[in-house]
Amino acid sequence: MGKARAHQLLASLAAIYLILAVTQHVNVTGILTDDLEIMWGNAKFVTDSSGQQAIALALDRSTSSAFRSKKTCQFCRVDIEIKLVPGNSAGTVTTFYMITENPWQFHDEIDIEFLGNSSGQPYTMHTNMYARGQGSREKQYKFDFDPTQDYHKYTIIWNKDWILFLVDDKLYRQIKNNQIYGAPYPYYYPMRVYATIWNADEWATQGGSVKTDWSQAPFTAYFRNYRAISCDLYQASPLCLPGSGWFDQQLDESRKQQLAQVDSSNKIYDYCTDSKRYKNGGPKECGVTS
């Protein structure tokens, strides 16, 4: 009985410590210069209309722009709030992604790309994953809101079992580690976070039929409230403990319902069901049930 009570007490103290740690980390300070650095082009730290520090990434005919994280992470959760380019954003692509620093032919990457559109037409959220240079795992989604009118939170969760894509804490996509079936999965190398804006009017909007209207430039997207929590094999953070809610994230019934709703209402492209691309059936993981 004494040992049981001691274990119960230790478990309670651990839970309290975890809650305090999570609360402490959830309060984002907004000091982006501590974690992020400007890379190139028309990128700069600004103060937005709410008084918070943000990064403005701008695109014009002469240059794109980008920033990146100062640190890499392996198995991590990354959150950032983004307000996308308003009005006629056709031809532009705003990105938020993670990538290894390996040679390109062997690189790993987890992507969120926002494909611009003509005024009044919706953005497309394009998601993808590469592992050891193997990619082409695209899925695309539309939103139930206008992502240009205010900031929305976008999250990538990457652990040893799953990659999860969330929008405002709602699950949009999951990628399961199906290496046992021969499917690629990023597992062995840390990644760095990047954000960019660039011109891709040869393919980004309606298959490239709508081109960038440079008279509308500069095209500017805003980023704020960046947070990254890394949980590599040697990480002792309480946010990485089993039961912390994301590092060992599994698809519980609530998440499965979210995913089913998004698949029904928001998903507009799935590589697994592209019969023109895969005439003899999709990759192996497409037939694996989660």
Q: Which residues are catalytic?
A: 109, 113
Checking DSSP bridges between strand 219-230 and strand 76-83, what pairing results, if any? antiparallel
Look-up: residue for tokens 């394009």? 126
For residue 68, with 0-12 CB atoms within 10 Å meaning exposed, 13-18 middle and 19 or more buried, which class applies?
middle
Residues linked to residue 42 through DSSP beta bridges, in sequence order: 58
Residues contacting residue 96 through CB under 8 Å, at least 6 positions apart: 80, 82, 112, 154, 156, 193, 194, 195, 223
**At residue 248, what are phi and psi to the nearest 5 degrees?**
-105, 30
CB of 160 closer than 8 Å to CB of 246 = no
What's the CA gap between 182 and 165, in Å, rounded? 22
CA Rg value for the chain: 20
